[in-house]
Chains A and B, each alone.
Chain A
Amino acid sequence: MTISSLQPYPNQILSTRLTASANRNILICLFLRGGADGLNVVVPHGENAYYNLRPTLAIPRPDDNRVNKGLRTLDLDGFFGLHPALAPLLPSWQGQKLAFVQACGTPDQSHSHFEAMELMERGVSDKNGPASGWLGRYLGLTPPGSALRAVSMNSRIPRLLLGSVPVAQVDRITDFNSGSSIQVREKLQKGLGTIYRAASPLEKSGRESLDLLTKIAKLSPSSYQPEAGVRYPDSEIGGRLRQVAQLIKAEVGLEIACIDLDGWDTHFGQGDNLTDLLSKLGLALGAFYADMRDYMERLLVITMTEFGRRVQENASLGTDHGQGSFMMLLGGGFKGRKVYGRWPGLGSQQLVGPGDLAVTTDYRDVLAEVLQNHLKLPDSKSVFPEYNPNPHWK
């Protein structure tokens, strides 16, 4: 790593002007931390080896009459099917707004969360290359926009957003409005309005912060009304997506929102854990899809995860770190109702490393297309300087 590749630490809230950018497309990136088991999400129910290698954890075939219907795979295309907990996503699948990429991932073979996540968030193949995140670089390469242009919905800024452009952390802004005396806070806010007035960068940044506080205060979560009949679940991801929906509809210039979801490292007792995680995700995304129908053409939700899991289940009713996993795409601007990616198979000759699903689509092949088609970046090379995306991943 050289100094020139380092960006200033961007844990800063503002430096751009608070203007809504005119209807730019929006990307919502969900990072499933821990290595999500793509094989039990987009289930290859047409593959016998899947059932042989996972005698207890495999999701039953769609026509497996021995088990309750609610526990069976929901068929998608005759070969792949969805985990039943993702049933709330079926309307978007039928509406051709949902697609998956199976056997997708990074070339990293470390099986280390830290390394794989770091490489994936930086969008690089090894320790060399830029230290910033791939979305951070995208932000730096495109015209400035609103102060709420890029937000992290979590309490930290994920590495993929690090770069030269400041990223807002929504809870840090809303936190300001809670937990201390209202009278003192109001006095403070008014007082700062009068003393941050000079032209210096610091005072300019101060005025923008004040603007942002005012703007966010009007967007209290309790005041948000989703579309009729839509109810976001009470889960953390439900709350985050509800907040994203509110920001989008308020037209504050949001372009990128990142949400981290923890808990996907299912070494033990995977069955119930994964069902719970997927059911939360499915319900929240289902509500988001119903709530945001009018915005779908401008929207794209993607999921990422640092790696998939070993094909063969382990002795603790779980799965260990593997390689190939999946990506989900929900939104407009692409052909949905399809599982993309070349299926490598699960035969003993087809597995790689210690028994992992091979990666046939590099995650950057998908991202390059997201950057160019959805976010209108002329050339993804500027974001992935050392990677030549394969345009034929579909």
Chain B
Amino acid sequence: MAERARVSAIGLSQWIEEQLAPNTLDDSATALRVRRFDSLIMDTSVIFDVREENVRRELQQATLLRAIYSRRQLYELMVDFWSDHFNIYTLKTGCAWHKTIDDREVIRPHALGKFRDLLWASLHSPAMLVYLDNQDNKKNGPNENYARELMELHTLGVNAGYTQQDVHEVARCLTGLTVSRPPYLGKFKFEAALHDGGDKLVLGQKIKGGEGELEQLTDIILKHPAIPVFISRKLVRRFVADDPPPELVNEAANTFRRTDGDIKAVLSTILHSAEIQNPTLKLKRPFNYMVGALRQLNAETDANPALVEMLGRMGQPLFQFPTPDGYPDTSSAWVGNLITRWHFALSLATDSLPGTKIDLARLTKEAELTNNPTLDNAISRLSSLLLGKELPAQDQTALVGLWGNTLDETGLRAALATLLSSPYYQWR
């Protein structure tokens, strides 16, 4: 609501610029809301003393609160994007603690920075190294898990032309990157004794074994022509359409090349494009759906564990996607998830979620329902608030016919629940 008002005040284009410079937006109120989660600021010397389920839950709660309340909305969207791109499964042994540090030191510092810095940070992230078994990737017993995902999911994309031999050679480069006491404790460590110091040949280019090897590897991968297109396509898919318009992908990829992988610049190209003005329908992912509803209704929430649990039931328990490709980003993956969404809508509209409350009185006032307390009027007002447009007349007539046109609190709450549960609200 607040951001909508801000857009009206300064114009969309200006608002995008503001969002692309998150540090210029004062977000101390959100910082205050997440200050109670001690584990967010703990380093490796103490974080492992926190119980695993608590450390996981605190990050989930903080992520929800930031998405709901932060003024830096675009930044939080990008944190969500990169959390999928560099997915960590926090139910894997050790990863819950490491993920909190990964979120703080890899994803958040670079979410709108240079892709190279983000990748470099991820290459040194204990969360990623443990998640993709790099502690088992040794000179005499290579494990190709990380090497493969590094190319397939993090940088080049599948079918980008690299071979199994390239995967093997990259795995050799990555030997020795580990955690000081895997998998639970410790921080990043380069274990020289486990490292294969021989020369390697990656994507047709020679890497001299020894110091600076990882830099050489990163350079070679980042020079590959597939990266700008791969990253741009994923971003366009997230922000614009399941089937990314190729012209926009090209334009974004050009920006990526021109700016040496400046994420902010690539986003700017996408957000100022003509295509984003006419996005195709895309199904909201559960996180998106929940956060959007809470924001639009100005709900007050402390991100109670019940809310976190509800999100899990809707199919997107944060940081718990088992495979390294992250939660799916296309509509078809989420079509079948309705009962749990309806349950959330019903719980929210009836204030049945512990720690979460909507302000019905304020809503009544804002929707100007006091003067004209009919269901018909309530549906019109709430539709324009939640859907940005009218509900199809056929539906509105049917609902009024079904429930009667007199508006009481039950009717208002039911109208809210129904709109949040409607097919129209599932799309963004």
Contacts and interface: CB of A to CB of B under 8 A. Distances in A.
A134 B251 CA distance: 43
Nearest to B410: A183
B413 interface: yes
B399 interface: yes
Interface string B136-156: 000000000100110011000
Interface in B374-417: 395, 398-399, 402-403, 410-411, 413-414, 417
Nearest to A171: B313
B399 A195 contact: yes
Interface in B280-320: 283, 312-313, 315
A127 B423 CA distance: 39
Contact of A9 (B145, B333, B399, B410): B333
Given A1-B148, A2-B152, A127-B133, A172 B313 contact: yes
Interface string A184-212: 11011011101110101111011001001
A175 B399 contact: no
Interface residues of A, number: 49
Contacts of A9: 315, 321, 327-328, 333
Interface string B322-359: 11110110001111111110110111011010000000
A173 interface: yes
Contacts of B398: 194-195
Q: Taking chain B's interface residues, is the majority helix, strand, or loop, or is none over half, making it mixed?
A: helix
Contacts of B145: 1, 127
Contacts of A96: none
A176 B343 contact: yes
B268 interface: no
A213 interface: yes
B376 to A, nearest CB: 14
B92 interface: yes
B60 interface: no
A187 B327 contact: no
A87 B350 CA distance: 48
Interface stretch (A10-18, A43-51, A260-268): A10-18
Contacts of A6: 323, 325
B421 interface: yes
Interface in B92-132: 92-93
Nearest to B159: A3
A45 to B, nearest CB: 36
Contacts of B328: 8-9
B426 interface: yes
Interface string A156-195: 1001000000100100110110011101110110111011
Contacts of A14: 336, 338
Which of A173, A179, A187, A212 lies at the interface centre, i.e. has the most chain B CB atoms within 10 A of its CB? A187
Interface in A262-296: none
B350 A184 contact: yes
Interface in B52-70: none
11 contacts: A3-B153, A12-B335, A13-B339, A112-B93, A114-B92, A172-B339, A175-B343, A176-B339, A195-B399, A195-B423, A200-B423
